[in-house]
Amino acid sequence: MSHALVNVLQWYGAIAGTIAALIVSLDLGRKPTGYGFVIFVTSSIALVAWGFFSQKGIAIGAQNVILFVINLLGVYRYLIRKKPVHA
């Protein structure tokens, strides 16, 4: 894989993860938080790819495999699942 593409994956993952963290931390409601998790998912995909295509990023790639699953859970909770009714 080209060095330029590996760099793009690394930087996209870092920037998208930062933006997603900001969106989630602002607690703007269910939908914006869910979209923050969608951005986290794309960040995780980029960092998994970067981690396994780069000699230096294997640990980050492995970590983001787990974070990918956690982020999918966030997408499910905030965008797919109906808000629970409190009795």
**Which is nearest to 75 in space by CA: 48, 28, 41, 25?**
41
Helix axes 3-25, 30-53, angle to 10 degrees: 160
Asked, for residue 19, whether it belongs to a domain, the answer is yes
**Which residue segment(s) compose the domain that 53 sits in?**
3-80
Number of domains in the chain: 1
Asked, for residue 9, whether it belongs to a domain, the answer is yes
Indicate yes or no: pTM above 0.85: yes
Asked, for residue 51, whether it belongs to a domain, the answer is yes
Asked, for residue 85, whether it belongs to a domain, the answer is no
Per-residue pLDDT tens digits for 15-51: 999 999 999 999 999 999 999 999 999 999 999 999 9
Residue 65 or 1, more confident: 65
Asked, for residue 86, whether it belongs to a domain, the answer is no
Asked, for residue 49, whether it belongs to a domain, the answer is yes
Q: What's residue 86's pLDDT?
A: 72
Which are the contacts of 31, defined by CB distance < 8 A and separation ≥ 6? Answer: 78, 79
